[in-house]
Amino acid sequence: MENAEMEKGGSPFGNFISDKKEINEEKIYNINYKLSIRPNFIIILVSIMLAILCLNTIIYFIIFIINNINKILKVVKNIISLSDKKFIIITIFIGLILFIFQFWLGFPGYFQEWDWYRIQEKAFNLNFLNNWDPVLYVQLLRLFFAFFGVHSFYFFLINLLCCWIAIALIIISLYSKFKNRFLILLYFTPFITSIFFYNILQIKDYIFSLHLFLLYSLIFTQLLIRPKNNLVKILLMILTGILLTITLLLRHNAIVTIYPIFILFTYLILEKSISNAKLYLLKFMTIMLFFSIILLSIVKFTPRIFLTKEQAVINGANPVFAFNIGGIAYTSGDYSLIPKEWYLEGKNSEDLMEAYQYGYINNKSSFTEGETFFKVLSINIRNSSGGDIKKVFKKYIFKHPISYIKFISMVGKCLWFYDFELKKDFLSIEGIQSINTPPGNNNFKVSKKYNLSEQRIQFSDLRLKIYTFLYNISLNINNIIPISICIIIFFLSGLLWLYKNNFRNKLLLFTFCIAFSGFATALIVIMFSPSGRTIESRYIAPVLPISIISLISFLTFIYDRGGFKKFFKELRGEKK
């Protein structure tokens, strides 16, 4: 008898296997067994434990507030003077009015976008469930449907809450610092920029952007107000942690955008232990590594709570590698590393060169004119395991590093120097009211699951006039403007931190971190674009709100030191 184990590969949780491959025992109860636990079971177990921990934290947070509501109100009353209370009440009231106004104007929000249709379809039918879109969207929609009924406006409502609360927090925190009533004018920011239209769009990238806007505004508020009461500090820290976790799970590559803020968190943890530079640096790197493991674990394990192993697999990186391989081949003129079997029948390297050449030279705003390069290369590349395609990608980078940089810069010209999609068809007066899909299409069927008034935006005469006016006066900001703001502030704040010891404080480091966040987001988009199409400029959407906060934070840092004149004097080394 050899290797006794359970039949059919064991149970879903693991397998009982004999400890000896060759068994000479006469009686079965003399055989010892070991339990081989399946890796999937461990992942599911860890995911459940993390979910329980998060749930307990939220419940504890709510109970804590309920039990200590009187203490919290007393602390707030002691902090705020009578005149300050009036300003804060007015600020909150105006924010509430603007929130109600936009909810009325844009109801039920624009959700006629292909990715969002797919998310809604999964919420209605779990048979379509996968990890192509962040699973948190689907689960939140299912939760809302179960408790509040089937409606299409939920994330439109959430967008508005994120936006107007974020701006109210910025105004209140700045007022607490400078006592300037003109700060109330910051409420015009969404109308001047494209943020107002971000709010209407139920599209993943804009939803993530607005959550990030609220997260950074909350951190900014804590840095300015600096609550001394431990109770308030703990509540704000818990709230920040919950919001950060939710934001992290709203986009697959959100970790790139969020991770830089942990430089500030690590600095705050080690603030009182900077006596030994080498030891401090070691501690700093260790804590940053720990944070990265935590973030990666959350991103990796959370989907496994809701998905099977097969559903959790994403091959979305393959088009990215294929596009970059073709691009490096195009800029270097070397197509030799691309396997011949990758080409469609009757296609070759000349067709691939023409695809890139046509897309870039004749129409820079649409680099490969849709998915032209997939009309040359086999679609099977997209659905493969990705091992071979990654090897070819690495070979091209090592062989032609300059050509790779040149190709990235070409994609950057398309995506970085592109206006926000304010003037795109779906945000026009006609487009915003359309269902955007033909009858009989699955997306059309999704729309029909909602009440008639919630299947699309339907303007009355008054709403149409207001929307038209706001649409016409809003600035169609080119992506390069917020990207440039982030890059400039990133380098300025970084240099000030390195070379001006007396300038170092939490606010300057916060400014550096979020500017770094915006720069990293813009850079990662052009490095890992799946086709260079202008529609992918939406991936850069977080940079706009990040640039607004980074600019406000940097100006706050300057005025906190006494204004521009004093700042430049200190910069030149003159006496204060």
| Kind and range of the H or E run holding 567 | helix 564-571
Per-residue pLDDT of the chain (576 residues; tens, 9 = 90+): 445 454 545 454 555 555 555 555 555 555 555 555 555 555 555 556 666 666 666 676 677 667 777 766 665 565 555 568 888 899 999 999 999 999 999 999 988 888 888 899 898 888 888 888 899 999 999 999 999 999 999 999 999 999 999 999 999 999 999 888 899 999 999 887 778 888 998 999 999 999 999 999 999 999 998 887 788 888 899 999 999 999 999 998 899 999 999 999 999 999 877 778 888 899 999 999 999 999 999 998 888 888 777 777 766 677 788 888 888 998 899 988 888 888 888 888 888 887 787 666 554 444 444 445 566 776 556 555 445 788 888 999 999 999 999 988 888 887 888 765 544 555 666 667 665 554 445 567 788 889 888 888 888 899 989 988 888 887 778 889 999 999 999 999 999 999 998 899 999 999 999 999 999 999 998 888 776 666 677 888 999 999 999 999 999 999 998 888 888 888 887 765
pLDDT at position 535: 64
Say if 456 falls within a structural domain: yes
DSSP annotation of 12:
S
Say if 295 falls within a structural domain: no
Do 339 and 364 have their domain in common?
Answer: yes
Do 427 and 408 have their domain in common?
Answer: no
What gap in Å lies between CA 524 and CA 320, rounded to an integer?
A: 12
**Angle, CA 139 vertex, CA 134 and CA 142 arms, to 5°:** 140
Stated pTM of the model: 0.83
Do 471 and 482 have their domain in common?
Answer: no
Query: Domain range for residue 366?
Result: 317-415
pLDDT at position 378: 66
Going 237 to 557 to 474 to 422, the CA torsion angle's sign is negative
Do 463 and 496 have their domain in common?
Answer: no
The end-to-end CA distance of the chain, in Å, is: 89
Do 366 and 394 have their domain in common?
Answer: yes
pLDDT at position 576: 55
pLDDT at position 551: 96
Backbone φ/ψ region at 377: left (φ over 0), alpha (ψ -120 to 50), beta: beta
pLDDT at position 221: 95
The string of DSSP codes covering 174-243 is: HHHHH--GGGGGGGGHHHHSSHHHHHHB--HHHHHHHHHHHHHHHHHHHHHH----HHHHHHHHHHHHHH
What gap in Å lies between CA 307 and CA 302, rounded to an integer?
A: 9
Say if 287 falls within a structural domain: no
What gap in Å lies between CA 167 and CA 242, rounded to an integer?
A: 19
Q: Provide φ and ψ at 12, rounded to 5°.
A: -65, -20
Say if 332 falls within a structural domain: yes
pLDDT at position 369: 46
Domain boundary among 369, 399, 415: 415
Do 481 and 470 have their domain in common?
Answer: no
- 187 token code pair: 């409420």
Angle in degrees, 0-180, between the axes of helices 261-269 and 506-527, rounded to the nearest 10: 150
pLDDT at position 48: 61
What gap in Å lies between CA 557 and CA 183, rounded to an integer?
A: 16
Please enumerate in sequence order all residues whose Cβ is within 8 A of that of 340, keeping only pairs 6 or more positions apart, or say none.
none
Do 499 and 359 have their domain in common?
Answer: no
What gap in Å lies between CA 160 and CA 95, rounded to an integer?
A: 10
270: burial class by Cβ within 10 Å (0-12, 13-18, 19+)?
middle
Say if 483 falls within a structural domain: yes
Hey, what long-range contacts does 146-150 have (CB within 8 A, 24 or more apart)? 150/449, 150/450
Domain boundary among 415, 441, 466: 415
pLDDT at position 14: 56
Do 486 and 463 have their domain in common?
Answer: no
Asked if residue 231 lies in contact with residue 140, where contact means CB atoms within 8 angstroms, the answer is no
- 54 token code pair: 């998060």
Shortest CA distance to 5 belongs to which of 33, 25, 29, 24?
33
- 500 token code pair: 């001006």
Do 219 and 247 have their domain in common?
Answer: yes
Task: Work out how many domains the chain is built from and give that number.
Answer: 4
Do 481 and 565 have their domain in common?
Answer: yes
Do 98 and 209 have their domain in common?
Answer: yes
What proportions of the chain, in percent to the nearest 5, are helix, strand and coil? 70, 5, 25
**Angle, CA 411 vertex, CA 342 and CA 374 arms, to 5°:** 25
Say if 302 falls within a structural domain: no
Do 222 and 94 have their domain in common?
Answer: yes
Please enumerate in sequence order all residues whose Cβ is within 8 A of that of 92, keeping only pairs 6 or more positions apart, or say none.
168
Give the type of residue at 526: I
Say if 103 falls within a structural domain: yes
Q: Which of 354-388 are b and which e, b meaning 16 or more Cβ less than 10 Å from the residue's Cβ?
A: ebbeebbeeeebbbbbebbbbebbbeebbeeebee
The string of DSSP codes covering 347-397 is: --HHHHHHHHHIIIII-TTBTTTTTGGGGTB-THHHHS-SHHHHHHHHHHH
Say if 293 falls within a structural domain: no
